[in-house]
Structure 1
Amino acid sequence: MTRPFKPYPFEPRHYPAEVPPLVDGRDPVERPVAIVGGGPVGMTLALALARQGVRSVLIEADDSVCTGSRAICISRRSLEIFKRLGIVDGFLQKGLAWTGGRSFYRDAEVFRFAMHQDDEQSLPPMINIAQYQIEQLLLDEIERHAALIDVRWQTRVTAIEQRPEGGATLTLRSGTPADPSCADWQMDAAWVVACDGGRSTIRDLLGLKLAGTSYEGRYVIVDIELDSTRATERLAYFDPPSNPGSTVLVHKQPDNVWRIDYQLRDDEDPDAAVLPENVMPRVQSVLDSMGETGAWSPIWITIYKANALTLERYRHGCVLFAGDAAHLVPIFGVRGANSGIDDADNLGWKLGCVVNGIASPALLDSYSDERVYAAHENLGYGMKSTEFMAPPSFAFDLMRTAVLGLAERHAAVRPLINPRQTHAIAYRQSPLNLASNETDVFARGPAPGAVLPECRLLGLNGDGARVDIHLTDLLGPCFTALRFGRQPNPDNKASDDAWRQLQSTLAGNGVPFRLIRIGVADARDSSSTDANVDADAFDPTGRVHEMFDAQPGTVYLIRPDGHVLARWRDGMPAAVRQALNATLANLN
């Protein structure tokens, strides 16, 4: 079967290699942050730093955004991060939202799952969007921050040396080996962040190794062009008639691109398996079994092997690791790019605080603590999914066959088929979590370390009228104190003055902070604000107060990455200031 390949429906921009003005082969300006790797993780980190006014240089070996089939699913958590960066609209416009999926065993549907989605949510649980589109949306925003983000295309790191006095010297090579102007040059940076992928050059130069599990099973990944009206959902086929003994995953992407992943049997040669003459009939059989009769064309073929690996620490002196350079997560459950974006979000605010001189460098150790913990959580879920999708032994295969055979008639075993999609990780044991004598008085609500839940509120527009908003609309790249249930009362003047003084003091010290007052309101009256003239948002049904177990005076302190730092039944400005001081300056 011969089918001509088509290009992706995307035309990337290409950029030349440019070397800054050098003095004796060295960039004379020390960079606050050098980010090695211009994929989704490196770009997200650069934007997170820029939102805090921190300059960075982004070093990318290629001359454009990526090509081929890589990450394709962006989670709600990642969308929340993009929302705080002010770039989520492009992702929602381009991506295909989905809420669940179905699994089949041979000819029968045996499991259907739905991710959390209700009226309180402002964002879908997942969107499908190709990595080249993800990178282009991020790059468009980076180019709007050119004063703070310097992108060095076609530039590779060839050596790194950490200096005793702090910082590092990078040896770089710009251009291609065929370019006669290609030559080594050096750059100094106070901090270096390795976002350079699973084959990290920085990791190799420092002699670091990933540890964990590598699976023998291999998957062929095929992107095709197919015009179809089928709904967007995650489809999994176990031992399908179209591909006996294998597992097949199917995802619909924007622009009529479909991704099909199928498992190779143990007796198949991986090199032969990716030859078009062997791939095309298997793809056609998958489409036939799905009832897809439209014309299609191949775009891309590659092969994938699952790994569950991580570094033991993500900070090594002035060098930090993020994304695939720090950990490799199996694709099942779509944790790869999403966990890397979460790395960038966590590191971005902490590194920004350190560079801006408002936090001790010890804060960066908490980045390693929290994200290594998150990696182990993600690896645990990813390994369970991998062992079900591609059984590594006869025992696992026997267990999977039994589960799939029983699932059609016995609902109790169906959850074992759950793909365990990625979700926000709570830092339950973070060194930043502030425990107090008041912690145990909360019967519910997000505890320190948890991600702030989404919920509906009423806000005020420019004319003072109430409008529907969500809690995440109120968050930015700053610490946020949510102060609940305040009622107007002349006796509160002293407290109000104390809060204003706190905001003034923090602003004077360069600490990004915002106080959000959440009042109660009559849901039947959409215009009157007499009951809460100084609230920033309103909880008309009381549901948000109940969700947070809040009463008048309750305060939740939120980190810039949306995790709860501390909470108090009766929060006072002095307690908030003490918590911020402990976070930024004294972590011992």
Structure 2
Amino acid sequence: MSVADTEVDVLIVGGGPVGLTARALLERWGVATLLVEKRRALSPFPRSRLVNARSMEIYRQLGLADGIASRAFGPEFGHIRFRDTLCGGDFAEAPVAGVNAAIPESPVIGVVTSQDRLEPLLLAAAEALVRFGAELVGLAEGPRDVVATLVDHGRDGARTRVRARYVLAADGANSSVRRRLGIGTTGPGALGDFTTVVFDADLGRWCAGRPASTSPRTAPSPRCTPKGAGPGSGPPPRTRRTSTGPLSSRAPSAPATAYAPTCCGSSTG
């Protein structure tokens, strides 16, 4: 094994809701971590738009649930409205599960929010080191630990090595950790390309009295997603369903959808 520049118990790769939540939980349990994120800052885009009840239970344990709920959209946005055009009538409606009524098995309910509202709260929830602009480019497993090679894009591509007992892959569907471990996926793969545009606009003329987290449309036009709101189910069957979206707009005031991370490494215990 090569000599490492830094040693931690857990290296977290990915600074989205999953990675940031893991960082806060591990710090609470006394586990030393380093989180690395290849982007230079938190994402400014809404992205995931629903924090489900189970995630809110975890955030309640961390003392974050009230703050997340206070920054979320009201429950009236917990609907998806399907239309042919933005100014047309709804031909179907679907509720976002778990945000409009209490769940008997849980002390909390989910909220309609977005990653750009959620992630700053999660980042502030722990003091463990975070390195933005640091990308994982190498991963070598040993019998008792893992050595990761990072490229620091904020320091002219300087390379550093981190030795960790475990590496937590929280870097999303296109995980670089998973690829380096040779872990494949099943399914059809990429279903298409999407462009996200975030803008401010008063949509009251078309949406007043019909609040929704998402308004998919069947005509060849963008999908309107109020910034911070999010879907909980897919559209009902319809002959024509096309979209160039998502096209997001900010509306008055969504771990989070979390993917199970992949781990590599071994325990020294």
Q: Same fold (TM over 0.5)?
A: yes
Deviation at 1:221, TM superposition (A): 3.8
Change (3 A) 1:119 1:61: closer
Change (3 A) 1:25 1:138: same
1:199 is aligned to 2:174:
yes
Q: Residues 96 and 232 of structure 1 are in contact (CA less than 8 Å); yes or no, is this contact kept in structure 2? A: no
> How far apart, CA to CA, are the structure 1 residues paired with 2:182 and 2:190?
23
* Deviation readout 1:359-405 (Å, 9 max, x if unpaired): xxxxxxxxxxxxxxxxxxxxxxxxxxxxxxxxxxxxxxxxxxxxxxx
Deviation at 1:183, TM superposition (A): 2.5
State the match for 2:227 in structure 1.
Answer: 253
Summarize the alignment of residues 39-78 of structure 1 with structure 2, pairs less than 5 Å apart.
Answer: 39-78=16-55
Change (3 A) 1:55 1:76: same
1:338 is aligned to 2:257:
yes
Deviation at 1:114, TM superposition (A): 6.5
Summarize the alignment of residues 21-32 of structure 1 with structure 2, pairs less than 5 Å apart.
Answer: 26-27=4-5, 30-32=7-9
> How far apart, CA to CA, are the structure 2 residues paired with 1:235 and 1:154?
32
State the match for 2:158 in structure 1.
Answer: 183
Q: Residues 50 and 230 of structure 2 are in contact (CA less than 8 Å); yes or no, is this contact kept in structure 1? A: no
Q: Residues 234 and 251 of structure 1 are in contact (CA less than 8 Å); yes or no, is this contact kept in structure 2? A: yes
Summarize the alignment of residues 77-476 of structure 1 with structure 2, pairs less than 5 Å apart.
Answer: 77-98=54-75, 100-104=78-82, 106=84, 107-113=89-95, 115-116=97-98, 117-118=101-102, 122-128=107-113, 130-142=114-126, 146=127, 149-164=128-143, 166-176=144-154, 179=155, 182-214=157-189, 216=191, 219-227=194-202, 228=204, 232-239=211-218, 243=219, 249-253=223-227, 337-340=256-259, 343=260
Deviation at 1:112, TM superposition (A): 4.7
| TM-score, normalised relative to structure 1 | 0.36
> How far apart, CA to CA, are the structure 1 residues paired with 2:95 and 2:230?
21
**Larger RCO: Structure 1 or Structure 2 (Cα < 8 Å, ≥ 6 residues apart)?**
2
Which of the pair is proportionally richer in helix?
1
> How far apart, CA to CA, are the structure 1 residues paired with 2:71 and 2:179?
36
Structure 1 SS opposite 2:60: helix
Structure exhibiting the larger radius of gyration computed from Cα positions: 1
Change (3 A) 1:61 1:339: closer
Change (3 A) 1:42 1:298: closer
Change (3 A) 1:237 1:151: closer
Deviation at 1:75, TM superposition (A): 1.7
> How far apart, CA to CA, are the structure 2 residues paired with 1:235 and 1:199?
25
Structure 1 SS opposite 2:19: helix
Deviation at 1:172, TM superposition (A): 1.9
Query: For structure 1, which segment, 49-58 or 223-232, has the greater mean C-alpha deviation from structure 2 after superposition?
Result: 223-232
The code of the aligned residue for 2:131 comes to R
* Deviation readout 1:460-498 (Å, 9 max, x if unpaired): xxxxxxxxxxxxxxxxxxxxxxxxxxxxxxxxxxxxxxx
State the match for 2:236 in structure 1.
Answer: none
Deviation at 1:218, TM superposition (A): 5.2
Aligned sequence identity (%)? 24
Change (3 A) 1:80 1:258: closer
> How far apart, CA to CA, are the structure 1 residues paired with 2:138 and 2:7?
17
* Deviation readout 1:18-39 (Å, 9 max, x if unpaired): xxxxxx9732x53111111111
> How far apart, CA to CA, are the structure 2 residues paired with 1:230 and 1:224?
21
5+ long unaligned stretches in structure 1: 1-23, 260-265, 284-296, 300-333, 358-588
Aligned residues: 246
Deviation at 1:119, TM superposition (A): 8.4
Change (3 A) 1:157 1:79: same
> How far apart, CA to CA, are the structure 2 residues paired with 1:156 and 1:220?
24
5+ long unaligned stretches in structure 2: 232-239
* Deviation readout 1:104-133 (Å, 9 max, x if unpaired): 4544544454645148665343322x3122
> How far apart, CA to CA, are the structure 2 residues paired with 1:158 and 1:215?
23
Change (3 A) 1:30 1:213: same
